[in-house]
Structure formats: structure tokens, C-alpha cells
Structure 1
Amino acid sequence: MLEPARTVAIFQFSSPVTFVAGEIIFSQGEPGNIMYGIIEGEIEILVDGKIVETLAAGDVFGEGALLRPDHLRASSAIAKSDCKLAFLDRERFLFAVQETPLFALEVMRSYSDRLRRLSQRFVTECG
């Protein structure tokens, strides 16, 4: 089974994009119509300016904005290191979900794993 980031790369229309360390990929509150899969590098996810998680190769992010009716970003994403990212717009994301149901399950698993890690961290820090 392919990891979600590799599936994103298969369904994208053009070449992966690159970001240098420290570069902003997207900002909290802005409209979003693209999700990303990390091919190389690490990404930091921030909420209200605080780092809440670090993602690595194989992870996907930004999918929430594709699913929400308002399409707004709930977080910011910044390249922690130089990165190569695959990407899908909403139309290609929906096509990938329709044509490859396992992709949808893997994205859901990834999202669930991230939520579980954040919940455990919250309990540890606030507990």
C-alpha cells in the first residue's frame, strides 16, 4: 500500500514544489484549495503562532481546508527544512478519493493518528 504522500504525487498534475527552510507554505485563516504530501523534508504546523506538530516524509497536510465549507486554513505550515512536496487541488483530491478508496482511508488514518498524538500531548502537558 502506498503512503498518502506518494498517492498525492501520483495524482498531481504537475511537478512537486520545493520550499526552503523557514518558508511559509500557507497561513492560518487564509483560503486553501490545495493539500500537500511530504516527499522530502519536515514541516511544522502552527496554531496561533505555536508549533503543535512536526510532520515528515510520507505525511499529508492541508486536507482540512479542502473539506470544510469555508475552505479556510485552521493552521499555518512552515518548512522546517528544505522540502519537496507533492500537491493536489480539491478537484484532483476528490478524483483520487473516488478512484482510490484506499487513499481516502489512508488520509483518514493519517488525520486520526495526528489527532491522537495531539490529544495525548495535550493531556500530558495539561494533565
Structure 2
Amino acid sequence: MLLEPAKTVSIFQANQEFQRFAAGETIFQQGELGNVMYGIIEGEVDIVINGKVLETIHAGDVFGEGALVQPEATRASNAVAKTDCKLACLDKERFLFVVQETPMFALHVMRSYSNRLRKFKQQF
């Protein structure tokens, strides 16, 4: 059983430090060094590779997790706010704490990462 989007949102809301992005604003760019992952509290985000929208993700989804599981890794895609968004961030320390306290969160993150990779492979 995976976490429901509402549970994922509640995990990120405990952070209480939110970032807001206006529709069309870039959250991060391919090639940048990343040190946080994001959870969508409100809104939608497009994951873009080579100018093509790979996926549109919604409240309860996570993205940017590669930055926490691959040390010194650069972002593999662009993330662009499709709508006005409210996002919460987890750095590596907080991510490890949440995984320890809520192991199902780790499965949610892995499934999200795996699904995105599958969609990417289908594009090529």
C-alpha cells in the first residue's frame, strides 16, 4: 500500500517552509546541482526534458528526488510551474528522517521516480 496524496501532503506540510511559484516560473533547470526534493502542496508542475513535457504532476506528488539519492547529481530535467504552486522542500537530512519515521514514504518516492523513468524511456 502506497501513501495517499493527502498523506504525502501532510508529511511535507509538517515542514512549514513553503515556496510559491507563479504559473510559468521555472523551479529548477536541467544541469543544476540539486540539494532538495519537492512535494506539491497546491498546483501542478510540468517535468520537461528537451523542451517536451514528460509529465504533469499534481498535489501529493513528489519530484526532484534524484538530488537526494545521487550525491553530487545534477538535475535531469526542468521543473516548471504549470499553475500557481505551493511547494514544500525536503533536504537530505529531513528526507532521511521522514523515511525513518514513515517507511511507506520511501516507497512512494521510489514509485514516483520509477514511473517518471518509464515515461522518459517511452519517449525515446
State if a TM-score over 0.5 links the two structures.
Answer: yes
Q: 1:32 to 1:8 in 2, by over 3 A?
A: farther
Letter in 1 for 2:113: Y
CA distance in 2, matches of 1:107, 1:64: 10
CA distance in 1, matches of 2:65, 2:14: 15
Computing the radius of gyration from Cα coordinates, the structure with the larger value is 1
Secondary structure of the residue aligned to 1:22 is: coil
**In the alignment, which residue of structure 1 is the partner of 2:57?**
55
CA distance in 1, matches of 2:36, 2:119: 24
**2:100 paired residue among 73, 98, 101:** 98
CA distance in 1, matches of 2:14, 2:69: 18
Structure 1 residue 58, shift from structure 2 partner = 1.2
Secondary structure of the residue aligned to 2:37 is: strand
Deviations 1:37-66 (A, max 9, x none): 111111111112322111111110000111
**1:82 paired residue among 81, 84, 89:** 84
Unaligned 5+ runs, structure 2? none
CA distance in 2, matches of 1:15, 1:111: 24
Percentage of matched positions with identical amino acids: 58
CA distance in 1, matches of 2:32, 2:63: 15
Structure 1 residue 10, shift from structure 2 partner = 4.3
**In the alignment, which residue of structure 1 is the partner of 2:29?**
27
Deviations 1:80-124 (A, max 9, x none): 1101111111111111112211110111122223333444x43xx
Letter in 2 for 1:50: K
**In the alignment, which residue of structure 1 is the partner of 2:12?**
9
**In the alignment, which residue of structure 2 is the partner of 1:108?**
110
The question of whether the paired residues in 2 share the 8 Å contact of 1:46 and 1:77 is answered with yes
Unaligned 5+ runs, structure 1? none
The question of whether the paired residues in 2 share the 8 Å contact of 1:5 and 1:36 is answered with no
* TM-score normalised according to structure 1 size: 0.82
* TM-score normalised according to structure 2 size: 0.84
The question of whether the paired residues in 2 share the 8 Å contact of 1:44 and 1:78 is answered with yes
Q: Which moved more, 1:27-36 or 1:62-71?
A: 62-71
